[in-house]
C-alpha cells in the first residue's frame, strides 16, 4: 500500500548534528509534499523550539509537539491538546521532589511564558544549552506548586542519563502512575536526558494515530522515522517504521529497517528507498 503520511522526528532525524536540515532532506520533503504525501514533524520540542526548524521548510506541515501533547499547524494554531489534570501534575511534582534537582511545567500559552521552571541551574555544563534555548519562554519560580494555576500539557525533568532513568523508575512505581505516561529522550554522548511526563495514554504514537484517523489514512499508509526512545510508540504504530543509523541501540534491536546517519541524509535515503521508488 502506498505511503500517504510520513511522520518525521526532528533532532537526530530531520536535522544533522549541527541542528541544520541537510539539503537532501529538504528536497525529499518538498518532493513528498508535491506528490500529495502528508508530512508531520513529530518531536519532543515545544512550538517555540520547533518553529525554528519548521519555518525553514517554507511549506505547510502539521506539528506533533511536546511528545504528543500538542498538535499545531505551522502557523501555531492549536489543533489538538492533551493536558495533565492540575491535581495529577501537583502529585507528580510533590512525589518526585526527593528524587530530582529540577522540574518544569509546559503550558500551551504562546502569548505568555510557555515554560515554568523550578531549580534552574543556568551554569550547569550539560543543561545550559537547553535552558538558553528556551530562555525567552521560561518563567523561573521558587515553587511550581504555587505557579500551578491550571492544567499543564507536560511536566518535565532533565539531568544525567542515569539520574533520569532512576527518576523514570520512581514514576513507574508511584501509586498513581496510571494517571500519567512518561518518555525519555537520551543524549548519551553528552550525558544529558529529558524525562517528559504527559497525561495517561499520550505519546507521539497515540497522537499520530488520532491524526491519521482524522485524515482518513490507515496505519499501513503511514511511515514513521526516528532515532530516540521517545520515537518508539510512533514507530510501533506506523505500518512502515524506519530507524536512523544514529539511533539508540534499543530501537535498532527491534528489527525495523535502518537507514543512514543523520549527517549523511539518512532521512532522504529512506524516503527514496521506501516511498519514491514504489510510486
pLDDT per residue as tens digits for the range 10-47: 999 999 999 999 999 999 999 999 999 999 999 999 99
Cα–Cα distance between 223 and 212 in angstroms, integer?
Answer: 11
Spatial contact of 219 and 212, defined as CB atoms under 8 Å apart: yes
Looking at the chain, the domain(s) classified CATH 3.30.1240.10 span 86-199
Spatial contact of 114 and 152, defined as CB atoms under 8 Å apart: no
- In this structure, what DSSP letter does residue 103 have? E
Q: Reduce the DSSP state of residue 54 to 3 states and report it.
A: helix
Beta bridge partners of 268: none
Q: Give all strands of the β-sheet with 180-187 in edge-to-edge order.
A: 138-141, 115-118, 103-106, 154-159, 192-199, 180-187
* Residue 276 cell numbers, joined: 519514491
Domain spanning 5-81+203-278, CATH class: alpha beta
- pLDDT for position 119: 77
- Nearest alpha carbon to residue 85 among 166, 178, 206, 193: 178
Spatial contact of 279 and 33, defined as CB atoms under 8 Å apart: no
Domain spanning 86-199, CATH class: alpha beta
The residues, any chain, with a CB within 8 Å of residue 102's CB and separated by 6 or more, are 117, 118, 119, 120, 121, 127, 157, 158, 159
- In this structure, what DSSP letter does residue 203 have? S
- Nearest alpha carbon to residue 158 among 103, 223, 113: 103
- pLDDT for position 111: 62
Cα angle 123, 127, 129 (rounded to 5 degrees) comes to: 90
Looking at the chain, the domain(s) classified CATH 3.40.50.1000 span 5-81+203-278
- Taken in order 22, 27, 28, 33, the sign of the CA dihedral is positive
Task: Point out the residues of the chain with pLDDT beneath 70.
Answer: 111
Amino acid at each position: 500500500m502506498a505511503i500517504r503520511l510520513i511522520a518525521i522526528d526532528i533532532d537526530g532525524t530531520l536535522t544533522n548534528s549541527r541542528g541544520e536540515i541537510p539539503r537532501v532532506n529538504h528536497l525529499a520533503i518538498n518532493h513528498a509534499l508535491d506528490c500529495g504525501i502528508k508530512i508531520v514533524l513529530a518531536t519532543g520540542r515545544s512550538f517555540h523550539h520547533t518553529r525554528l526548524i519548521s519555518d525553514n521548510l517554507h511549506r505547510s506541515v502539521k506539528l506533533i509537539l511536546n511528545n504528543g501533547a500538542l498538535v499545531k499547524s505551522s502557523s501555531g494554531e492549536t489543533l489538538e491538546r492533551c493536558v495533565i489534570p492540575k491535581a495529577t501534575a501537583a502529585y507528580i511534582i510533590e512525589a518526585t521532589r526527593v528524587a530530582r534537582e529540577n522540574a518544569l511545567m509546559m503550558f500551551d500559552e504562546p502569548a505568555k511564558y510557555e515554560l515554568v521552571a523550578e531549580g534552574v541551574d543556568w551554569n550547569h555544563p550539560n543543561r545550559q544549552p537547553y535552558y538558553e534555548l528556551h530562555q525567552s519562554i521560561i518563567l523561573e519560580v521558587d515553587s511550581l506548586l504555587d505557579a500551578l494555576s491550571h492544567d499543564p500539557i507536560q511536566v518535565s525533568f532533565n539531568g544525567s542519563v542515569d539520574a533520569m532513568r532512576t527518576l523514570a523508575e520512581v514514576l513507574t512505581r508511584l501509586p498513581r502512575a496510571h494517571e500519567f505516561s512518561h518518555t525519555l529522550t537520551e543524549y548519551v554522548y553528552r550525558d544529558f536526558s529529558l524525562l517528559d511526563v504527559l497525561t495517561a495514554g499520550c505519546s507521539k504514537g497515540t497522537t499520530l494515530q488520532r491524526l491519521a484517523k482524522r485524515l482518513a489514512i490507515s496505519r499501513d499508509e503511514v511511515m514513521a522515522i526516528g532515532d530516540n526512545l521517545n520515537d518508539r510508540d510512533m514507530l510501533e504504530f506506523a505500518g512502515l517504521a524506519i530507524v536512523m543509523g544514529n539511533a539508540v541501540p534499543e530501537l535498532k534491536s527491534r528489527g525495523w529497517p535502518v537507514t543512514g546517519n543523520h549527517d549523511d541524509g539518512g532521512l532522504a535515503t529512506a524516503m527514496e528507498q521506501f516511498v519514491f521508488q514504489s510510486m
